[in-house]
Amino acid sequence: MSIAYLNGQFLPLADARISVLDRGFLFADGIYEVTAVIEGKLIDSRSHLDRLGRSASTIGLPVPLIPDAIEAVQKELVACNGLEEGLIYLQLTRGADEGRDFLPSPDLQPTLVMFVQPKRFLNAPSVKTGIAVVTTPDLRWARRDIKSVGLLAQAMAKRIAADAGAQEAWMVEDGQVTEGASSTAYIVQDGAIVTRPYSQAVLAGCTGAALTALAEEAGIAVIHRSFTVAEAQAAQEAFITSASTLCQSVVRIDGQMIGDGKPGPIAAQLRDIYVDFARRTAI
């Protein structure tokens, strides 16, 4: 039976109950983080907790535990669930009020929940085959730098991708790719990595930030600019990063084959570099 954490308690996930008046449920008034676990250890933990702090500060949401305490809870969840490889999901909302009102009570206590999800991504079949992506209009709100639990547009994009036989959707705004529904988007041109610069238009990816820094250390140029769907389809390679995929090659975009239709060497090299980094720095 999976064990979760809810507001100071460890309990069976099935028994983790949250009020229907919780503002995360009623207003999507909350934020979240997803941290990878490899060989029973947390990957790039502080990067995720720093982003949690930025998101919380931006919307004026207090974080009830300091980073060290959150890591301690997450390590306990990994241990008591026997998780070797997978993800830890953390969600923080403004809490449950006395009724439904757009303005919360000033003394509201936040709701903090964490649980684990086994997932094999080190040796996933898609590492060898690559994935397909479809593009879809970006319907999200303007503050995409906040890792909000309001994920309706992303869920819709994922459904569009699944219906087309693809594994991810790249969202497009003003003719430019913003990012994936649950990932950061990249292409490779002339041996250089091209990815959109961080701003309010995209989420600053923790895995992506680590990977691009590692790429530059390895002598691979990284160009921060927007790119079009046509550029992506004509690129040498395309790939995505996220906590749940690490670095994953994209071999088709809207049915158009990228390169020779197989995972490219640069993405493969970056994945190896990142996995090595993850294992060396895991806690």
CA 229 to mean position of chain CA atoms: 22
Half-sphere exposure of 201 (CA within 13 A, CB side): 15
Q: How many CB atoms lie within 10 A of CB 101?
A: 12
Burial 215-243 (b: 16+ CB within 10 A, else e): beeeebeeeeebbebeebbebbbbbbbbb
Write down the catalytic residue from 75, 147, 158, 262: 147
To the query of whether residue 41 is one of the catalytic residues in this protein, the response is no
Q: How many CB atoms lie within 10 A of CB 277?
A: 17
Q: How many CB atoms lie within 10 A of CB 117?
A: 14
Q: Is 2 helix (H, G, I), strand (E, B) or coil?
A: coil
List CB contacts of 83: < 8 A, sequence separation 6 or more.
37, 40, 77, 116, 118
Closest CA to 132 of 253, 247, 259, 12: 253
Q: How many CB atoms lie within 10 A of CB 63?
A: 18
How far apart, in Å, are the Cα atoms of 79 and each of 39, 76, 88? Answer: 11, 5, 12
Q: Which residues pair with 114 in a beta bridge?
A: 5, 90
- Alpha-carbon distance of 33 to 90, in angstroms, equals 5
What tokens appear for 209 in the block? 């930030």
* Residues designated as active site: 147
